[in-house]
A = this chain, B = another copy of it.
Amino acid sequence: MNTIDPNTHLTIGALIFPDMDQCDFTGPFEALSRVPNSTFLTIAKDTGPVRDLRGLRILPDLSIADAPQLDVLLVPGGHGQEALMHDEAILGFIRKQASHARYVFSVCTGALLCGAAGLLEGKRATTHWTAMDVLPYYGATPVNERVVIDGAMISAGGVTAGIDGSLVVVSLLRGVTVAEELQLYMAYDPQTPFTAGSPATAPVHVLIAVTERAEAITKQRMETGQRYRTRQHP
C-alpha cells in the first residue's frame, strides 16, 4: 500500500452541522485526531455551538469560510443532513474541498450530502441501511459493505461503521501499523452484547420497529434524491 510520506503534515477536518448524529463524527474523531503528524479541525457553517440530534453541543474550531484546504474531509450524517441538501454554501464547501482533498470520507447519511455535492456520480458507495435505496439518485452504486473505497471517495455505513471506516482511512494515510496501534489504544475489539446490529441479523420485530421509526425521514430522503436526479437528468 502506498501511504503518504510520514514527513508530510496532514490536515484532517470534519464538517459538523445541526441535528447531525454526533457518533458519525465523534467515532472517527477518535482515530483521525490521533494520526501522526496531522492536525484535526472541526468545521461548521459558523462558529457557534452545534447541537446534535440528541442535544450534545459541540464547539467547532472554524467556519467553512475560514477552513483551509483539507487532506481528508469527514462528512457525518444524521437527520440534519436533509436540511443541507440544497444549501449551496455547504455543498460548495464539500465540492471545493473534494476537488483537492486526498480523501472524502462519508459516514452514514453523510454520503447523501456528498451525493448532493455531486461526488457520487459513477461511484460505489454505502450509507445507513435505511438510506441505501437513495444512493442511485446520486449516480452511485449502493454496496452493502461496512466500508467502501472508490478512488478518493470512502464511505462507511450507519453510525458506528464510521469507526471501522476511520481505521481504514488511517491505514491509507499512514499504513496498517499506525491503524493497528490506534485500534489497540481504542480497545476496538467489539463484543456486541446482542446480535441486532444489521437488518440481516436483527429479530424481525426489531427490524420492523426501527424501519417504521425511520419511515418519515427515509421518504423525505427519497424525494430529495428524486428531485436531484430530475434536475441533473431532466
Contacts and interface: CB of A to CB of B under 8 A. Distances in A.
Nearest to A24: B30
B193 A187 contact: no
Contacts of A159: 30, 185-188
A29 B40 contact: no
Interface string A159-175: 11101100110010000
Interface stretch (A50-58, A63-71, A89-97, A225-233): A50-58
Interface stretch (A116-124, A134-142, A200-208): A200-208
B189 A192 contact: yes
A157 B185 CA distance: 11
Q: How many copies does the complex hold?
A: 2
Interface string A16-58: 0000011100110110011000001010000001000011111
Contacts of A158: 185-187
A148 B214 CA distance: 33
Instruction: Pick the most buried of A159, A160, A185, A206: most chain B CB atoms within 10 A of its CB.
Output: A185
Interface of A: 21-23, 26-27, 29-30, 33-34, 40, 42, 49, 54-59, 61, 108, 128-129, 146-147, 157-161, 163-164, 167-168, 171, 176-177, 179-181, 183-194, 196-199, 201-203, 205-207, 209-210, 213-214
